Copies of this chain bind each other. A is one copy, B any other.
Amino acid sequence: MDRVSVVTDIRQANQNAARENRTLFDKHGSCVINLMSAPGAGKTSVLEATIREIAPSYKVAVIEGDLETTFDSDRIRALGVEAHQITTGSVCHLDARMVAKALASFPTDGVDLLVIENVGNLVCPAEFNLGEDLRVMVYSVVEGAEKPKKYPLMFHTSDVVLLNKIDLLPYSGVALSELLRNVVEVNPRAAIFPISCRTGQGLEGWIAWLMNELKSRRSEALSISKT
């Protein structure tokens, strides 16, 4: 087996596992988010803020992916939400088989919203479908306005782009208008929300978007079960 075949083989194995995850999520009626970003952009902070608003109305569960430590799953459990930690060691992304393995010991039936927080990396996670419904990426605005063009794949494949840390804009020299233009250029179909997890600014737009998504899935499921 040469290198190209191995890469093709890994991709194919991932697609097969993603399809099986998808079947399981559909069976359980769970909406699944693959939450991605570079390290420190604010994935866990977004998740905490989201859980606080969503958990009273919907059952939420979280799978945390990290190279090392259980810091993030500890933060989620502190909110009273079940969290399963995947520690990847040196692997720079989650793949569908890691998620499948987690699902074997972390049952998600009855979960309305499952968030899979990926390893912090703006490159590799975007290449691996986990079987998710939605890709949500968090981008820290202080990382610069030109990054959507330099790291296009994650921006291009995300359904939602959360531009976090806008409270730092006045001190960062980054122009939000230029960043927005670049995001739209790379992905004109994404829903974009400038937010600050620190001040709470802009979070209501993202929460409303997600609530609406969950509501329409619930009523769709109800109408299917009635027919």
Contact = CB atoms under 8 A, between A and B. Distances in A.
Contacts of A147: 39-40, 120
27 contacts: A1-B2, A1-B6, A3-B6, A38-B143, A39-B151, A40-B143, A66-B150, A67-B123, A67-B150, A67-B153, A68-B152, A71-B146, A71-B150, A119-B123, A120-B123, A120-B147, A120-B150, A121-B122, A121-B123, A121-B124, A123-B124, A140-B143, A142-B142, A142-B168, A167-B171, A168-B171, A168-B172
- Copies, count: 2
A167 B167 CA distance: 14
Interface residues of A, number: 41
Contacts of A173: 198
Interface string A87-103: 00010100000000000
A142 B165 contact: yes
Given A121-B121, A171-B167, A40 B152 contact: no
Nearest to A198: B173
A69 interface: yes
Contacts of A2: 1
A178 interface: no
A41 to B, nearest CB: 8
